[in-house]
Chains A and B, each alone.
Chain A
Amino acid sequence: MKTHNFYQKEEKELISINITPLIDIVFLLLVFFMLATSFIQKSTIEVNLSSGKNVEIENEKNTIVLIINKKGQIYLNKKLINISSIRNEVISIIEKNPKSKILIKSDKKLAVQKVIRLIEEVRLAGTDNIKLVDLEK
């Protein structure tokens, strides 16, 4: 007599889950995240506005004048200087006189990017005492 082996019969059947819809959804999610995500890190620069304390500081003794012209050339106390050496120059001035104030005079037509770069270099030198004005002033 032939015995019925239940387990042997089950092994022969090919049971497969249809994974195509899963792949579709995962692909959609992948495309969404690839398009919608950004790896650029956001940052900020704080500017403290001295409200009501708009004092003329250019002629003050402790003021360091940084001029940035239309071409992006930077002058530190009327001396042409490279952007990379500003930090060290400002550090050495501040070490001599910790009360030094920075006056940045930028050309009207100069792109904001260059002004911000200059502000950051001065900030990295360790001072927040910065005043921004037009070059024409």
Chain B
Amino acid sequence: MAQKKKIKQINLIPLINIIFLMLIFFMLAGTITKIDPYKIKIPESIIKNDPLTPFLTIIVKKNGEIFIDSKNRKKELQKKNYVEIIRARKPKEISLKIDSETPSEYFLKILKILENEKIKKVVIETNYIRQ
């Protein structure tokens, strides 16, 4: 009688099952985040509000450097320019992305400038931390 050749194979099906499950989990539970070119660590908040996507975002770095990020373009701007852009676009609301370690003097200065430019609503971006 001819001896049957035994084909030794590792059963990959359980592995594929686990990988598929993990893939589905990451696809459903997570949200794809944009790469932040400014590397800003936004403040933490204990109140959960829905994130908005206003037309104009002012980015304030730890050292007080200011950038403007609009929907269509990302461009480094001088401090004088950002006020001009706000004046030109006249947004009703502005999103403020400020580093959590920024001294509050920059924060207050920007709020003052926006107040002078008659911006009615400023939305500060935060990370929600469940307590």
Contact = CB atoms under 8 A, between A and B. Distances in A.
Interface size range on A against B:
35 or more
Contact of B107 (A34, A38, A115): A115
Contact of B49 (A44, A124, A133): A44
Interface stretch (A2-10, A24-32, A92-100): A24-32
A113 B101 contact: yes
Q: Is the interface of B mostly helix, strand, loop or mixed?
A: mixed
Interface stretch (B71-79, B81-89, B123-131): B123-131
A46 B88 CA distance: 23
B16 to A, nearest CB: 6
B69 to A, nearest CB: 15
Interface residues of B, number: 52
Interface string B14-31: 011001101100110111
B113 to A, nearest CB: 10
Given A37-B27, A112-B107, A115-B107, 15 more contacts: A14-B7, A19-B16, A22-B16, A26-B23, A39-B29, A42-B51, A42-B127, A46-B124, A47-B124, A108-B103, A109-B104, A112-B101, A116-B45, A117-B43, A117-B46
Interface of A: 14, 19, 22-23, 26-27, 29-30, 33-34, 36-52, 54, 106-117, 120, 123-124, 132-134
